[in-house]
Amino acid sequence: MKKLLIYSFVLLLAACSGKKSDLPASDNIITKYTFSLPHTIDFSVCGASYVVIYNNSHPLDTALLYSGVFNIGKDTLIYAQVRSEPDENGKRFESKNESMHGVVTTLSLYDGKQFHYLKLPYFDPFFSSFCVNNYAIFYWGFHTDKMFACLYNIKTGTTRAVYLSQIEGTDDIGAYNPPHIENSGIVFRDSMDNEWVFNQDLKRVISLKLHPEIKQEQNSNSTNIASQDTKI
């Protein structure tokens, strides 16, 4: 059997761009969940890594490693679910412990008993990297040709979306780095080093580091902050 890693261990991602990042965790606590070593997943347009999640040594699900697997308390997990698909030759992988051709299907919340598939506004399973802090999910949102910084409150089911810029065309799953908490702010940084830093309720801009063409667009369009409700 493949060696399992305790949740608090560091796992590395082999993303499309070749960059690597740590598997983040909300709390440094021991849970009943463990993970396989990383395996390769091919999306046709690029590749990334996934892990098998185990619940008391029993296979539970497969999760994309780019954003990571987040723990709320001891029982609840949040992660981007991946599933296998037949490759161009019609072959489907036969084991959860090997490379596979597949897709990112949804953002999943497992509460220790049931799976809940979250349908967050503007969430794109492939491009929307995310992070979880307590009961807040921060993620990149996409709608038509627009890009947003989004905050989903798990307890209230409400979402706040802040317009950032027009979308740049890409097939790279690593084009939008997972948001992260830094100096009490939430940082959204893309692979071109455009950076938006907000306070943690997304109601105030702390700082901006933008390329000239993005800055010009923001100057010509007032920042649009919109709220809406959703349900798990």
Q: What is the mean pLDDT of the chain?
A: 80
pLDDT above 50: residue 146 = yes
The answer to whether the beta carbons of residues 193 and 208 sit under 8 Å apart is no
Residues with Cβ < 8 Å from 21, sequence gap 6 or more? 12, 13, 15, 66, 178
What pLDDT band is residue 19 in, cutting at 50, 70 and 90?
very low
- pLDDT value at residue 58: 93
Whether residue 103 sits in one domain with residue 126: no
Length of the chain: 232
The contacts of residue 212 (CB under 8 Å, 6+ apart) are: none
Give yes or no: residues 12 and 61 share one domain: yes
Q: Tell me what pLDDT residue 214 has.
A: 78
111 and 143 in one domain? no
Q: In this structure, what are the phi and psi dihedrals at residue 73, rounded to the nearest 5 degrees? A: 70, -150
What does the pLDDT read at residue 113? 94
Confidence grade of residue 174 (pLDDT, cut at 50, 70, 90)? confident
Q: Where are the beta strands (DSSP E) in 44-191?
A: 47-55, 58-64, 70-72, 76-84, 100-110, 115-118, 130-133, 136-143, 146-153, 158-166, 180-182, 185-189
* Sign of the Cα pseudo-torsion (26, 30, 32, 36, in order): positive
Chosen domain end from 79, 101, 118:
118
- In DSSP terms, 180 is beta-bridged to 187
Question: Can you give the pTM of this predicted structure?
Answer: 0.79
Determine the Cα–Cα distance for residues 136 and 78; give it in Å rounded to an integer: 11
Assess whether 111 and 172 both reside in one domain: no
- Rounded Cα distance between 101 and 84, Å, is 6
Of 89, 118, 147, the residue that ends a domain is 118
Q: Let me know whether 111 and 132 are in one domain.
A: no
Structure confidence at residue 218 as a pLDDT band (50, 70, 90): low
Q: Check pLDDT > 70 for residue 17.
A: no
133 and 186 within one domain? yes
Last residue of a domain, one of 77, 93, 118: 118
Please report which confidence band the pLDDT of residue 205 belongs to, taking 50, 70 and 90 as the band edges. very high
Indicate if 7 and 87 belong to the same structural domain.
yes
Q: How many C-beta atoms lie closer than 10 Å to residue 146's C-beta?
A: 15
Q: pLDDT > 70: what percent of the chain?
A: 75
Residues 114 and 125 in one domain: no
Over 90: is that where the pLDDT of 159 sits? yes
Specify the number of domains making up the chain.
Answer: 2
Of the candidates 2, 96, 6, 89, the one whose C-alpha atom is nearest the C-alpha of residue 50 is 96
In this prediction, residue 27 has a pLDDT band, given cuts at 50, 70 and 90, of very low
**Nearest-angstrom CA–CA distance, 127 and 52:** 21
| Burial of 23 from C-beta contacts in 10 A (0-12 / 13-18 / 19+) | buried
DSSP 186: E
Residues 7 and 89 in one domain: yes
In a shared domain, residues 109 and 133: no
194 compared with 98, residue with greater pLDDT: 194
pLDDT of residue 13: 30
Q: Residue 81: which pLDDT band, with cuts at 50, 70 and 90?
A: very high
Distance CA 215, CA 212 (A): 5
What does the pLDDT read at residue 29? 54
pLDDT of 177 strictly over 80: yes
Which residues span the domain enclosing 51? 1-118
Same domain, 74 and 138: no
Per-residue confidence (pLDDT) for residue 91, from 0 to 100:
67
Interior/surface letters 7-18, b for 16+ CB within 10 angstroms, e for the rest: beeebebbbbee
Q: Tens digits of per-residue pLDDT, 44-67?
A: 777 788 999 999 989 999 999 988
Q: Do 25 and 80 fall into the same domain? A: yes
User: Chain centroid to CA 54: how far?
Assistant: 20
